[in-house]
């Protein structure tokens, strides 16, 4: 087996890689603390959508993914782009669309790019539910604060330039088991047990995950599942370069996508 480090080399989730010196420590409320109320119902719906987007927000999804595929532990997990850290960081200016975005607009982007679908309207149950779930996860978090565990920790540039040939080897050894030799994922019944990483059922080229640095950071801190922080920086960058060199649906903002209808 090519040097994929075993359990002993892993960092535990408590050992959060050093972030900004003023990052605020935060933990979301316990799962069973969702209130019994109309708001609580929305929060639960948001959680359901987040974990099984295929079932609960079908009409807005254009591929085979679920939010939880890239935001582990139902959007709760530090260093896995948890919702609670994002919620208090908006409204914010984003260079992606060169404007100040509300939190809802940020979620719209998830549907348009990562889910290769269409955006739920701001007053839709789906959007209100997701915002409610995010709001609840962020209970007590200081608005506008940089929370420890936000996003995926940056992975330093590796010694060698990221190489998709080396990445293909990392992929075959440590990723193909679940994500398929051709990135097709693993089907179980009508759904994906393990998500596709490229091809028509994966995120499109406008998604954040399509950026090699973002993918490297996600992979380093979260993959293989249960073996977070076991890959070297080099391996994370290489496999990210490999995965993101594969074909996938076009960025909807480009001319290539303009002639085709979004989603299925």
* CA 217/CA 237 separation, integer angstroms: 8
Place of tokens 């085979």: 64
- Least Cβ distance, residue 118 to other proteins (angstroms): 26
- Least Cβ distance, residue 13 to other proteins (angstroms): 5
62 Cβ partners below 8 Å, 6+ apart?
115, 116, 117, 118, 249, 262, 263, 264
Q: Which residues bind other proteins (CB under 8 A)?
A: 1, 4, 6-8, 10, 12-14, 31, 72-74, 76-77, 173-174, 177-178, 186, 188-189, 193-194, 224-228
Nearest residue (CB) to other proteins, 31 versus 35: 31
- Least Cβ distance, residue 72 to other proteins (angstroms): 7
Compute, in degrees rounded to 10, the torsion defined by CA atoms 67, 116, 209, 243.
110
- Least Cβ distance, residue 264 to other proteins (angstroms): 23
Nearest residue (CB) to other proteins, 126 versus 231: 231
Q: DSSP of 93-147, one letter per residue?
A: EETTTTEEE-HHHHHHHIIIIITSS-PPPTTSHHHHHHHHHHHHHTTTPPTT--B
- Least Cβ distance, residue 109 to other proteins (angstroms): 26
Query: Residue 94: beta bridge partners?
Result: 99
User: DSSP 3-state assignment of 73?
Assistant: helix
Helix axes 233-243, 212-222, angle to 10 degrees: 130
Nearest residue (CB) to other proteins, 12 versus 98: 12
Nearest residue (CB) to other proteins, 20 versus 189: 189
* CA 46/CA 56 separation, integer angstroms: 9
- Least Cβ distance, residue 98 to other proteins (angstroms): 36
Nearest residue (CB) to other proteins, 103 versus 133: 133
DSSP label of 88: T
Nearest residue (CB) to other proteins, 101 versus 227: 227
């Amino acid at each position: 087996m090519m040097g994929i480090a075993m359990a002993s080399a892993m960092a535990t989730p408590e050992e959060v890689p050093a972030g900004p010196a003023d990052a605020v420590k935060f933990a979301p409320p316990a799962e069973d603390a969702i209130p019994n109320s109309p708001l609580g119902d929305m929060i639960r719906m948001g959680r359901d959508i987040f974990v099984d987007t295929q079932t609960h927000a079908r009409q807005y999804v254009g591929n085979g993914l679920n939010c939880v595929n890239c935001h582990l532990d139902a959007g709760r997990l530090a260093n896995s782009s948890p919702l609670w850290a994002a919620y208090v960081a908006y409204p914010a200016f984003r260079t992606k669309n060169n404007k100040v975005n509300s939190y809802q607009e940020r979620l719209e982007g998830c549907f348009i790019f990562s889910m290769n679908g269409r955006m739920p309207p701001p007053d839709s149950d789906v959007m209100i539910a997701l915002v409610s779930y995010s709001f609840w996860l962020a209970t007590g978090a200081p608005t506008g604060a940089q929370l420890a565990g936000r996003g995926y920790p940056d992975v330093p540039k590796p010694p060698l330039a990221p190489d998709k040939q080396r990445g293909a080897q990392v992929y075959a050894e440590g990723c193909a088991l679940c994500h398929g030799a051709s990135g097709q994922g693993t089907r179980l019944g009508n759904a994906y047990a393990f998500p596709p990483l490229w091809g028509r059922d994966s995120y499109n080229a406008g998604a954040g995950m399509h950026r090699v640095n973002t993918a490297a950071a996600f992979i380093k801190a979260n993959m293989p599942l249960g073996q977070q922080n076991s890959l070297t920086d080099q391996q994370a960058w290489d496999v990210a370069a490999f995965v993101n060199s594969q074909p996938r649906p076009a960025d909807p903002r480009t001319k290539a996508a303009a002639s085709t209808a979004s989603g299925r």
